[in-house]
Structure 1
């Protein structure tokens, strides 16, 4: 058992040394800092955009979404065109699909963008409420929120990947030492619980912490963009209460279900009682907060009563 432990230690240490030599060689032959940053930036943008574009096509196929013919929904296209003129954005393609819950979301990467509507929204919402939902999704397209989120994930994953590469020799070495220690003590199955195994888990934790921090940061930005899209939709339509009513109707019609993408997903049984960690990982603000902000916005924009003191 000691011989096996020694062989494992030598094998892992040798591989770690080789990995370290490769990293040092790459570091010594690296281009200057500005060139390196330029290469990383271009790589992140290109791969992020390609992921966004192809992800849009893949998602449309997964949802079995079909284009809405203009002649079948002239009123919907008239409202969409009017909204786009006010927002000075291109008119996106409109699709209809079947989702787990009443939902709508915007996708870029295909021409001027795509807005997908669940079939149930057409019977669930009034024309004004559906227009408010469209304005919300158009606001996401206007601000390129989906692309920015994808690029942020791409950058974060790149940085986390670089961290993993830098720590790789240390991970190999600590793994070899942990397994060798376990064999030396006659308990090979307990290597993860040795002191070196604990160190190995700590290294893994550093990488996992980077991924968690990335998710929290991106989701925090996503929540702020949802509120911004609500505000933009209310300003463009001039009817904040229509969006508030639409969100409440969707909430009542929704049931908790897994969806491959849910940018408008608002159902949450826990509400304000959610543990803070759940809120950190949520992509959307609490529905009561969204509806409350829209109602306050409507109250501020309501005309004053005759005779009210304006001073």
Structure 2
């Protein structure tokens, strides 16, 4: 095919692509205009949008909680099978504004504990069996208090709702911007074909498309960062509450260090494993938990303010306690 013929064919393809994309953009824009024309009064519309966002977040939270409990590789533990553990939980719950949670023990062979649910139904407390071999009774009690603090503050629900509302707002913005995204995508593709460079996406329309898409993605990232930041703050608050209830911040600090060390990868290729963590800022911002170093340092200061106490071991920073809570 001669160059002239190729340019002519490419121009035809470009015009056809432009027509398809603009038709789709106009169709979506007409749907949005029709929906806007049929809208109720602005206060009612805002109330409906808020109710939809909150309802979607609540449904996601409830379904996620039920799925976590259904997928547990463990069983609900009745009182007669672990009377001492139940008594500890009863004692802690009595000292805290929290309903008595159900107790589950798993066999994941990874030292971890997390709380799901909360509110009037009490929620559930999940403990891996390996913790009982790893931690002392005082350290177990500190971990229990930390997780009960999450239930007391209904942290899983609050974080899930905030995350759901943020994602809903980004979703609404994406729908509103969809006609512009389609039109810019069509203009970018058509421009490239007409210029005889089908794979070239360096033109002004392509840059505008990337800018708009990047702004929407940035909104999604911002909503995620806000949710993760709140989650990290709630971890600190749960540490403080556990230290207050047990009167032994050093026990929680020791428990965090022991869990950290037990979860460190030790096989030769550990630096390349999926469990590897770095000190990159992006990783810290996206983490649901603050580093163990930060948490232990705060607990150390609390312990020192209370007077002489047992030594808190030092170690590298990793956070594990309550990690499963982010799925609630």
TM-score, normalising length: structure 1 = 0.88
Partner of 2:207: 198
Q: CA deviation at 1:275?
A: 2.4
Change (3 A) 1:268 1:239: farther
User: RMSD in angstroms over aligned alpha carbons?
Assistant: 1.9
User: C-alpha deviations, 1:257-295, integer Å up to 9, x for none?
Assistant: 9xxxxxxxxx9754xxx1222221111112111111111
Q: Is the 8 A contact 2:73 2:108 kept in 1?
A: no
Change (3 A) 1:231 1:170: same
Aligned length: 290
Q: Is the 8 A contact 1:68 1:94 kept in 2?
A: yes
Change (3 A) 1:86 1:224: same
Distance (whole Å) between structure 2 residues aligned to residue 37 and residue 256 of structure 1:
49
1:129 aligns with 2:134: no
Distance (whole Å) between structure 2 residues aligned to residue 225 and residue 289 of structure 1:
14
Equivalent position to 2:164, from 143, 154, 158:
154
User: C-alpha deviations, 1:161-213, integer Å up to 9, x for none?
Assistant: 011011100000011111111211222233x3333222211111011101110
Partner of 1:44: 53
Structure 1 segments unaligned to the other structure (5+ residues): 258-266, 304-311
Q: Is the 8 A contact 2:166 2:223 kept in 1?
A: yes
1:253-292 mapped onto 2 (5 Å cutoff): 253-255=262-264, 270=278, 274-292=279-297
Partner of 2:321: none
Partner of 1:185: 195
Q: CA deviation at 1:256?
A: 5.2
115-124 vs 274-283, which moves further: 274-283
Query: Following TM superposition, where does structure 1 have runs of at least 4 consecutive aligned residues deviating by more than 3 angstroms?
Result: 267-270
- 3-state SS in 1 of match to 2:288: coil
Distance (whole Å) between structure 2 residues aligned to residue 148 and residue 77 of structure 1:
27
- 3-state SS in 2 of match to 1:280: helix
Equivalent position to 1:139, from 111, 135, 149:
149
Q: Is the 8 A contact 1:132 1:233 kept in 2?
A: yes
Q: Is the 8 A contact 2:118 2:152 kept in 1?
A: no
- 3-state SS in 2 of match to 1:193: coil
Partner of 2:71: 62
Distance (whole Å) between structure 2 residues aligned to residue 149 and residue 214 of structure 1:
11
Partner of 1:229: 238
TM-score, normalising length: structure 2 = 0.84
44-53 vs 285-294, which moves further: 44-53
Distance (whole Å) between structure 1 residues aligned to residue 36 and residue 126 of structure 2:
47
Partner of 1:98: 107
Partner of 1:250: 259
Q: Is the 8 A contact 1:52 1:109 kept in 2?
A: no
28-37 vs 279-288, which moves further: 28-37
